[in-house]
Structure 1
């Protein structure tokens, strides 16, 4: 399969997507589901082609000295490609939000009113080194009736182009226009800046990546932004936490996939729990090769810990590093989270139900947990299907954004000559 991406201006691509969106929003669910199955099959059929293109990105990544976490996000394998192909198939079984009647009522004058979910229109997706986002975002957009303009990072250019090429090949076999998926191949920053300011063609921007990318979009965009956030996630181990449960959860949240946004980056540990159970904590950190950066109290108990600087409390490590803060009580733990948290995912480990409820009610985050790992803040894990990102803002959508988050509402009003 050859890779030939057409050269068009960003504006023309956005215009093409807008035109395709007019067709897409009118398609029945069956047509969209049939298309998703075809796209998934196309991905499975072209795994070798995608992997060959991914190798080019990995070679450049090694030349540029990308760190281990970044290379992991960039790397595709046969299993990973099959996973995001299966992600498209999973969307078929999810309810299509477009056209759903959310509310209905009748006015005193007989006017019939319905509030209906409708597609956003054209989504602009800006993301960094995760090629899987290309397939996930495209699938979610199509299922919810939206066209999408994708702008991936230059580090994954070959991988993203290959995936889009395969998806276009699949769309050619469906009733969905190929223009419903656009990919901006230009690595010029001006291309992204153009996308930021095309409110006449783009209905919403969704940035997904590190803090620098997200801030750049939020600060420069005139198109409305559905903001996804970085994950400086905390786990507070309370005085009444079961030690085995606490360490099992903390280790999972840190090590299962350290380079993702729902991984734990800071442990806050009650000083009494630390004094009693630090030997078990040390054994767990050593066994899983976790490097701790602690405050003065933590340094007394944790073997090999480095002193934490102010930046450590705000750091999204995306690695096997973790900050450790000791706290005298719940209130101190919550104050620390309020100051340094990113409103993503926060957890408390305790056998004291009143303390747990206080934590769940007081902490301001998209997801709060009692006695469970933060790694569950994920669209698939929570049963939403694939997600387009995790929103840490409070407007329109919050938390993992699945299909319903990619719709807005329209009022449909039917009368019989009523005037006001």
Structure 2
């Protein structure tokens, strides 16, 4: 039986609403924020008022009662215009709020989720470390139990949404013990912003995503209540694997949006830019580039929606999420390169959206699992040991 990826009326209405918001509100303003490396607080506040940060969460916690498909649709539409805005939402939902929803106690959910769902505060997920990227099992940050508190020491790097004026918490993975075989026992702990000893470094100077917030974090004898443990002690590694599996669907939707945005901008440019007395779109070489770009974006869309549908159905989705993330991120890079080529010299000018898309695309092959990690996961699902 064929898989039906046509949208319900509710999902289509949401998609159209966000499409209009992206073009009418984000597009005219985001270029200045991007070039000035400024976080777009007013746009983020508006997204909060629209309920976008609460899309996949139940209404009892301040959410919209939607699902992961709805989140993916929103991320795709945002990224068609700008990826900094899209990654702010993706990280705030998938990495900031979702761990609390999936693994938090009822008290933790009621304390944190309503404010994250409304966009009043942002959450972040502190996983990556300076000496520990893809090898998350090599975590060096430690958390030691001292009475009714955890004492945390260590550092994290490349953490999105961690240093804004509205960041409320960072969920940190830390070694809390050792297993019988000597491997680290990793747990997840909520660290509220402003906790003494918790230092947020200045924002990175990045190649792309320049209107989003990314920082290095350090923890020096940071004390938080023992009740801030998220989920079971020693289960942090398994927890973040689940969070990353879901997050790959979201990143795939974002990458698809960037790839489609490259098509949108290039089609418009090819119809208006004239050379040798005619629009450059009259040249078959340009038409074929555009056809290939549209094919890639369409296929990526099918891939992330398939993974999302499996997640919503309660079926295994690890392989499909890895496939979607791998394919969509790599074709986003390809489409961005081709869009720049079609625009010629103008594609190298920051005033054109494709210049941002080109700069933003590469990180999609790295963040939330590199392309190499995705291939490893797919091979495992095919029955090969790594």
Task: Bin the TM-score by the shorter chain.
Answer: under 0.3
Bigger helix fraction: 2
TM-score (norm 2): 0.27
* Larger RCO (CA within 8 A; separation ≥ 6): 1
TM-score (norm 1): 0.25
